[in-house]
Amino acid sequence: MKKRYSHRGHTIECKDDVYTSIVAGRSVSGTMLGVKQCIDWWSDTRIFRRPAEFERQSFRTATGPSSEVYKGIQIMSDDKQPGLWYILVRGQLLKGPLPKIKQFIDQNALSR
């Protein structure tokens, strides 16, 4: 049984985890992401490239922000500045290294 998908006006067919489509009159096959990248490249530039010519051939797993619950308060990591964490205290942002934030929570007896 073939599964069919549509991407930017092109039909992508899947059989046994091999995705195929017709781009610029040529048949292309590979991973779903590779075929989509080929279609995107053709649609944007009108230059044909095979899916194998693209570097990234697999989907990245989504990584959400790390968080930790300490004494009922959620402390979240800052993705843009590694090593820094933050909490919201009475509508104010408190940011710093994790041990310092835990020390602040202990000293000010914050709890939810």
**pLDDT digits 0-9 by tens, 42-75:** 999 999 988 888 776 565 665 656 888 888 888 9
In angstroms, rounded to a whole number, what is the distance separating the alpha carbons of residues 37 and 43? Answer: 10
pLDDT at 20 over 80: yes
Question: Residue 72: which domain range?
Answer: 67-109
Whether the per-residue pLDDT at 32 is higher than 80: the answer is yes
**Alpha carbons 40 and 28: distance in angstroms, whole number:** 13
Are the C-beta atoms of 100 and 111 separated by less than 8 Å?
Answer: no
Give 109's pLDDT tier (boundaries 50, 70, 90).
Answer: confident
Q: Mark whether 9 and 50 lie in a shared domain.
A: yes
Query: Does residue 89 fall inside a structural domain?
Result: yes
Query: Which 3 state secondary structure label does DSSP give 101?
Result: helix
- CA dist 94 → 75, 101, 103 (Å): 10, 8, 12
- Clarify whether residues 10 and 51 are in a common domain: yes
Q: Are residues 37 and 82 in the same domain?
A: no
43 and 77 part of one domain? no
Q: Looking at residue 48, what DSSP letter applies?
A: -
CB atoms under 10 Å from CB of 14, counted, come to 15
- pLDDT of 110: 65
Query: Residue 83 has what pLDDT?
Result: 84
User: Are 48 and 72 in a shared domain?
Assistant: no
- Quick check: 38 and 49 in contact, CB under 8 A? yes
What pLDDT is attached to residue 91?
85
Give the contacts of 104 (CB within 8 A, at least 6 positions apart). Answer: 94, 96, 110
Are the C-beta atoms of 95 and 86 separated by less than 8 Å? yes
Give the model's pLDDT for residue 51.
86
